[in-house]
Structure 1
Amino acid sequence: MSKLKIAVIISSTRPSRFGEIPAKWILDRANERPEIDAEIVDLRDFNLPFFDEVASNAWAPSQNAEAVRWQNKVSEYDGYIFVVAEYNRAITGALKNAIDQAYTNWNKKAFGAVGYGSVGGARAIENLRTIGVELQMVSTRSAVHIAGADFMSVHPGYGGTKTLADIEGAIGNSANDMLDQLVWWGEAAKAARENEAVAKAAE
């Protein structure tokens, strides 16, 4: 089987965001795996409107050209790692809007998450997992949570001077577990999609 193509999606678009730091860290960790070919996908690069289509693209083709460009980008990947900021116990509005701009493009694919904040983005990641169920996706059990004092120590906005490599002891095992599970579910889902495509072509 060919390598899994994985998107590392940065969920915050704020000028002062922290998300690029964990995104680059998990990108390097993912690309150390022989089964994965990962790249960063930045929501800043897509000028998405607030969802304004007549329906999800499960029911009607989207009309907005930027939404279609985003759907095509999502479709390129076998799975995703969401870098999750937590806003008021949920994912960012930018990420929720981006997710809602597509439907079929997410189906039958796997995802993991890296969260950060006072509780490591735990509540936002749980929010994301419930959304993933509706999108017919499978979530890894493990996620990376950059939390508490570790988060403060690596966030420049709080005076942090450490790098994520400095807190590897706190988050490295979680990253390994999440990536192991992403590979397992990603390969299983990819094989199933390919088998389904062959069966449909033979009809």
Structure 2
Amino acid sequence: MTAVAPVRVEIIIGSTRVGRIAPVVAGWFVERARAYPGIDVGVIDLAETPLPQDFAASPVTDGFRDRIARADGFVAVTSEYNHGYPAALKTAFDSVKHEWRSKPIGFVSYGGLSGGLRATEQLRQVVAELHMVSVRQGVSFHQVRKQFDAEGQTADGAAIDSANRMLAQLVWWAESVRAQRAKDPYPG
């Protein structure tokens, strides 16, 4: 039996807001993903990836497109602003087209009382249009600023359990879709 190469998962940090808590939430999740077997993790922080709002070709867009093309799956770490997702995250999805297709994505959301769940539900519609597979399990942090200690760790048992379940689903889909794409290109 041959060894299966780890799946390449790009974790995309969607918030670019000044004073954001996104690096804390993402840092916690990245640590969990790197410890999970079968995953090779990359991080794309949209605050450091200034994609043009007009979708013009640029070296940043080309580099972003290449990373998306090489990935087997994704996790979007998203805040919820005014019952929706950050504009930078939507720009990221709209900046690339075919490279997203047939790849799985999971969501780690955060916010106030809703935990970012409204942003996630809206993003599920966006990624479906891009021919992506949204895994069922997600991670959400309600009242996020109360959920992490000074070292960026959480005692939120539901989030910890959800992260492990989501990673298992993401790896399953990424391995399955990668094998299928090698046999037969996606028809979309």
- Pick the structure with greater CA Rg: 1
Q: Give distance in 2, aligned partners of 1:64 and 1:162.
A: 38
Pair 1:67–1:166, CA change in 2 (3 A): closer
Q: Aligned residue for 1:47?
A: 50
User: Under a length normalisation based on structure 1, what TM-score does the superposition of the two structures give?
Assistant: 0.83
Deviation at 1:194, TM superposition (A): 1.2
Q: What CA RMSD, in Å, does the superposition of the two structures yield over aligned residues?
A: 1.9
Structure 2 residue runs without a partner (length 5+):
none
Q: Partner amino acid for 1:25?
A: W
Within the candidate set 89, 92, 95, 1:98 is matched to 92
- Whether the 8 Å CA contact 1:84–1:124 is kept in 2: the answer is yes
1:68-147 alignment, distance < 5 Å: 68-118=62-112, 119-147=114-142
- 1:8 and 2:11 are equivalent in the alignment: yes
Q: What SS does the aligned partner of 1:8 have?
A: strand
Q: Aligned residue for 2:145?
A: 152
* Identity across the alignment (%): 35
- Whether the 8 Å CA contact 1:153–1:162 is kept in 2: the answer is no
Q: Partner amino acid for 2:76?
A: F
Structure 1 residue runs without a partner (length 5+):
54-62, 156-160, 198-203
Q: Give distance in 1, aligned partners of 2:49 and 2:29.
A: 22
Number of equivalent positions: 182
- 1:188 and 2:158 are equivalent in the alignment: no
Q: Give distance in 2, aligned partners of 1:164 and 1:8.
A: 17
Q: Give distance in 2, aligned partners of 1:76 and 1:17.
A: 28
What whole-Å deviation, never above 9, does each CA across 1:95-115 have from its counterpart, x for those lacking one?
101110001010110010110
Deviation at 1:163, TM superposition (A): 5.4
Deviation at 1:164, TM superposition (A): 5.3
Deviation at 1:14, TM superposition (A): 1.8
